[in-house]
Chains A and B, each alone.
Chain A
Amino acid sequence: MSSETSFGGALSGASEVAHRTRRLVLVGLVFLVPWVVIVGRLWFLQVEEGPHYQSLAAGNFVRESDITPDRGRIFDAKGRVLAENRPSYDIMASPMILFRNKEVPQLLATKLPIDKDKLERLIAASQTGTGAEIVVRRDVPRDQVAVVETWKNELPGIYLRISQRRYYPFDSLAAHSIGYVSGISEEEARSWESTGYTGGDQVGRTGLERWFESILRGAPGLERNVVDVRGVEQSAAVANELLGSLRRVEPVPGQELVLTLDADLTQIADDAMARTPSGGLVALDPRDGSILALYSKPGFNLNAWSGRLSNEEKRRIDNDPFKPMLNKVTSSYFPGSTYKVVTAMAGLEEGLVNAKTEVDCNGVFHYGNRDFRCWNRGGHGEVNLASALAASCDVYFYGLGVELGMDRLARYATEFGFGEMTGVTLPGESAGLVPTKAWHETHSAGGFQFGFAVNTSVGQGDVRTTPLQLALSYAALANGGSLFYPRLVDRIQLQDGTAVYEYPRKARRQLPFKPENIRQVMRGLRAVLDTDEGTAHEYRLSYVDAAGKTGTAQVRALDTARLDGNEALFADRDHAWFVAVAPVEDPRIVVAVFVEHGGHGASAAAPVAMKVIDRYFREVLGMDEAVTAYVDGSDRKRLHDLLHEPEAAATGTPSKVSGEPGAPVFRSPTEGSGSAPEVSP
């Protein structure tokens, strides 16, 4: 090597070569230091922290999107669809693509009713690099879908998203039972995150849609797609290779509800309530508590509430004095005279009165230093239990109320199910109120006064019941004492119709009353329709033996003179009630009608209830021909047979008890004479 150093430098020699080599080795060793550091860094990133970065990378390129399950449909008792799903198209925009295609919003605005400026603002505000998407317009009509499809190539970054929307074929029918759905807000999505909801999911807001949300909703599926940094999906082949079987988790469709409601009867209720601005009606089967119709007025359009509801319309509905969104069947009001069954039953059970006990009503009841007036200022004269119920004599019950006292009255009311929720599968049910001494001590100014029992005995004062509670308690009286849980849902089933759960026909309790006493009360309720003094006599049906009770609940203080409906302000008018059962023997239907501020129960509510019962038999049960044949006298047996047990039908033809044409018929002949009302003049 010495030859190498013989030229080029001023100094030469072996020592110079050695020096050069030493220096170069030193530089080589210096190179090793940062190299080792970099290798160590890579070891740390790739091997030590590798799994951590792998999970970050997975989050980067896999985009998960929920697959919304089919929401369970809702059917009425006869299988008619009350709530279903329809496809819906949203116009979407991809900001990442629109950034590079500035002309698109302008072009879109010329083709569709879209606010160009607003869209441009949304695009400008969206995060880049996140694959975000913008909803330009939700649930567009078909013609706009066609426009987007047609101009697809001229509108890069604009696309359609297909989703499902709730659709209610009957619009507002049974709106309060079914309820509506709406998309959840971002805020709700955050607080419900643990339950798997994401923004824009549809969620039940009222009625069954809300109560059965978890059943109807099903479980969302999941689709994972491989996306690039712009959020653009890679091909299915790429996704399959990278994700395999993890790519898709199928959604579980929601389960379906089959209701006990009958759409026809609900429509009949609507017809019957036509002249009523505000109120509620519930019809149920007294044999098992199945709700046949649940109607609240005014109603609202489920499709409007589940779709785009303008703010003005929403405000208008919210400010409507008749409270369209309130389910009046499960809200509580003063029951008025319909509550007298409680007082009557308590009096009989406690032995304070019997069927023959007579009271002289001269129109006013003196108690303490106050006068409590009967609604009939002239008085009813001598009344017994049945005629007091028939004519709705207040004085008879005032006296009974005083003798029973507040708490005994409350105990019987509780037996009937008042003051507690019925357990109907609807949100927002009111328990009503059964006031006691203790309640008055804490809630009434001046504490409990003995006069309160007087008011309570006729369903005034502070007692409040819901139409549904009244219907169930009357059903219990009619069916011999079984206080049922209301059945609104008959069964829950899978999409293919397989039943998953059948709601039991279950009595909450057996009314602990003597059968004879129940019969006595029922006799009074029959007299309401059957006898001339009966408050609802003029609305009786010629072919069916019905029982019922009118109620006229004062909204203003009792001391104020009752005003005729036309003279009073609407909000000051009395609530009108009628609860009816038919047929009395072997009852098939109980109808409770509540007409808010409707005036007298007899004139405002009773005709509604009887109309519903009439049309239930004729149209819903399909007995129109038999009823007609009965009424014109051509065939009286057929109607009887239709409604009775075979053995009962075989025992004989229906007898006419009162001798009038069109008198009660649905009664087994052996008991016929016993059920005739005994009414004193």
Chain B
Amino acid sequence: MKSTRLAGNRTRNVDPVLLFLLMTIALVGYFDLHSSANVAVTGHDTAHLMRLVVGLVAATAIGFRDYRFLERWAYIIYGGVMLLLLVVLAVGDIRNGSQRWIDLGAIDLQPSELAKLAVIIALARYFHDLGERDRLGFADLWPPALMVLCPFVLILEEPDLGTGMVVLFIALTMMAVQRISWLVIGASGLAAAAAAPIMWFFVMHDYQKARVLAFMSPERHLQGDAWQVSQSMIAIGSGGLTGKGFLKGSQVQGGFVTYHETDFIFAHHAEQWGFLGSLALLGLYLALAWWSLNIARTARDRFAMLCAVGVGAFVFWHVIINIGMVTGTLPVVGLWLPLVSYGGTATVTVMAAMGLLTSISLRRHVF
């Protein structure tokens, strides 16, 4: 099919729910950045909006193009990203104690961000090629396991625990929609046991509370992670039910929360808008994740379905780990909040993923 012929259909078929969710979350990000910019360099709010627009154009470019070219190029893209991951470990810039960036002059490339997308595409391609088969065994599953573990290990080497976790969770979520033999499920149960400590943190509220309260005694921890997290928790907690109001977050306005524009932007959001505002944003994210699954449900082929699941998992786990981190529920691993955190690579990556989702939703009725 020719893309020119499809133009009329495309505009009519643009997914209004997806667009609404994207634009609403992006606007929340704009306002959060606008108010937090009150204390830092101003202009991040508009820069963020600009990037989202650029990202949206890029996403539309991907979305309006047939996603199936990705299917064809999946392993090539994956191989390229793997190469970049090796390069970054060799010559990457070291910042804040980890080696994640390749300095390309105008832009800083973060291969680990690309790895999230590369893994989604590569896994989708693999399972697509495998077809709708029942009871996948070890023989079918070792290639995808390797496809996940290689980038996972390389990313952990940087070290970037957060991104590594996200890659792992994306892969697990994508596996979950396969028909896998009970034997393999039992084996992956062991893998889940490895991830159990994470779940354990979710449950252990009281322990976390005690630990973080201990962190907050100011004479002991004035700097470092504990300082960041305790200040972030103070910001969130002091927001109360309804928040302190727009531009009135004393914790962030006073500069107590570090990285308040990037990884810790949620602390700022929660301080200003309170529990209700936090719930609203979390609701939007859950809706986005669920809507991705719905797009997957209606996707016209397995590759598209798996890509949609992967993108949904990508957004969802990013949000969960990020907010778990700023609320002191999870260790600080350094992950941004999709569509809200300020940052070039983050925005480009997430908009690329959204473009893929748009493309899939656009083509659901085109046979």
Contacts and interface: CB of A to CB of B under 8 A. Distances in A.
Interface string B319-359: 01001100101000000000000000000000000000000
A41 B329 contact: yes
Given A49-B237, A57-B234, A20 B256 contact: no
B85 interface: no
A7 B238 contact: no
Interface in B197-227: 202-203, 205, 209, 216, 218, 222-223, 227
**Looking at A27, A30, A44, A54, which has the most chain B CB atoms within 10 Å of its CB?**
A27
Nearest to A60: B256
Interface in B274-310: 274-275, 278-279, 282, 286, 289-290, 293-294, 296-298, 300-303, 305, 309
A557 to B, nearest CB: 61
Contact of B236 (A3, A9, A27, A46): A46
Contacts of B302: 8-9
A86 to B, nearest CB: 36
Contact of A11 (B39, B133, B305): B133
A42 B279 contact: yes
B296 A46 contact: no
B275 A38 contact: no
Interface residues of A, number: 56
A40 B256 CA distance: 25
Given A4-B298, A4-B300, A41-B205, A53 B234 contact: yes
Main secondary structure on chain A at its contact with chain B? helix
Contact of A47 (B173, B256, B275): B275
28 contacts: A7-B301, A7-B367, A10-B133, A20-B177, A24-B293, A26-B176, A27-B173, A27-B309, A28-B289, A28-B293, A31-B293, A35-B316, A35-B320, A38-B320, A42-B270, A42-B327, A45-B236, A46-B274, A47-B240, A50-B240, A53-B238, A54-B238, A54-B240, A56-B216, A57-B250, A61-B254, A226-B254, A229-B256
Contacts of B316: 31, 35
Interface stretch (A125-133, A444-452, A568-576, A651-659): A125-133
A20 B131 contact: no
B255 interface: yes
Contacts of A35: 282, 286, 316, 320
A21 B297 contact: yes
Contact of B234 (A10, A12, A56): A56
Interface string A52-85: 1110111011000000000000000000000000
Interface of A: 3-4, 7-12, 16, 19-21, 23-28, 30-32, 34-35, 37-47, 49-54, 56-58, 60-61, 127-130, 226-230, 234, 242
Contacts of A23: 176-177
Contacts of B293: 24-25, 27-28, 31
Contact of A44 (B205, B216, B364): B205
A10 to B, nearest CB: 4
B254 A60 contact: yes
A489 to B, nearest CB: 45
A573 to B, nearest CB: 59
A602 B104 CA distance: 102
Contact of A24 (B297, B323, B364): B297
B301 to A, nearest CB: 3
A227 B254 contact: yes
Contact of A45 (B233, B248, B320, B364): B233
Contact of B289 (A31, A39, A227): A31
A50 B278 CA distance: 14
B142 to A, nearest CB: 21
B364 to A, nearest CB: 8
B253 interface: yes
Given A57-B250, A226-B250, 7 more contacts: A4-B300, A27-B177, A42-B275, A57-B234, A58-B250, A60-B256, A230-B255
Interface string B228-264: 0001011111111100000010110111100000000
B135 interface: no
Given A46-B239, A56-B238, A226-B254, A24 B296 contact: yes
Contacts of A60: 231, 234, 250-251, 254, 256
